[in-house]
Amino acid sequence: MGLGSADAYISMVSGLVGAVIGGWCTLNGATKAHGLALKKEEAADRERMITTLMLLRTEIVGSWELFHEECGDELLGQTEGTPFLSILPIGANPFPIFDSGPAALNLVPRELAKNIVHFYMRAKGLIAAIEMNNRDYDQALQHARLRLLTQAERAHQAGDEVSDETHDEVFNYSVAFMAGQLGMGDTADSIRSLTQELAPIVQRITEEVDKLFTPDLEHNRVS
């Protein structure tokens, strides 16, 4: 049986070599395309992480500064056990960025992510304490107004008038009395304690975020 001509073998070998080369080129092209896709995905993930962290930093620092402007400094200046006789309005959703559950948070470095979660857990506890203080102070005010009304009715029946000094004395005493009954001093101590705990956490977050993105900011400035 004939083994075929040399040309046939050459043609067959050439075909095999061509197929191997073609397959290698296809595989190499697919590998490069996959690598480029991974790089694009990594770049997109980093962009999402940067955007998320900058938004969270803005929310954290902004809410912290606002808290101190409205009551934080006054609270910390009070002695232990002193009720905080003021109402601090709290919005329905004070942390919209964090509560939106940004998926990019899982891309954040572990320690930074822990600090961010720690901040929001304690901050929400702080808000709950402030809301309790608001309700209690409102109740203390209602009690004081009722006492004033009773005082005015008695004075009217006796043909007397309530002086401004007596008015203020009755009002302030009634508020202080009800604040004590409601344990507002303990609530204020809780707010002060959480405020002191949060201060270094806020500082760590801002420093870590700024340090993490300083190269990016410098690069963008140069570009």
- Region 146-164 average pLDDT: 83
pLDDT at 221: 47
pLDDT at 75: 86
Per-chain mean pLDDT for the chain: 82
Domain boundaries, the chain: 49-222
pLDDT at 39: 65
The total number of residues shown for the chain amounts to: 223
Higher pLDDT, 130 or 36: 130
CB of 124 within 8 A of CB of 60?
no
pLDDT at 47: 79
pLDDT at 218: 47
- Region 4-16 average pLDDT: 61
CA distance 187 to 130: 8
- Region 165-184 average pLDDT: 92
Higher pLDDT, 167 or 128: 128
pLDDT of 84 > 90? The answer is: yes
Amino acid identity of 109? P
Token pair listed for 149: 């009304």
pLDDT at 128: 94
Of 25-34, 68-77, 135-144, 178-187, the least confident = 25-34
pLDDT at 12: 64
CB of 139 within 8 A of CB of 178?
yes
pLDDT of 165 > 90? The answer is: no
pLDDT of 105 > 80? The answer is: no
- Region 191-217 average pLDDT: 86
CA distance 152 to 160: 9
pLDDT in tens, 51-77: 888 889 999 999 999 998 888 788 888
Angle (nearest 5°) at CA 27 between 21 and 33: 135
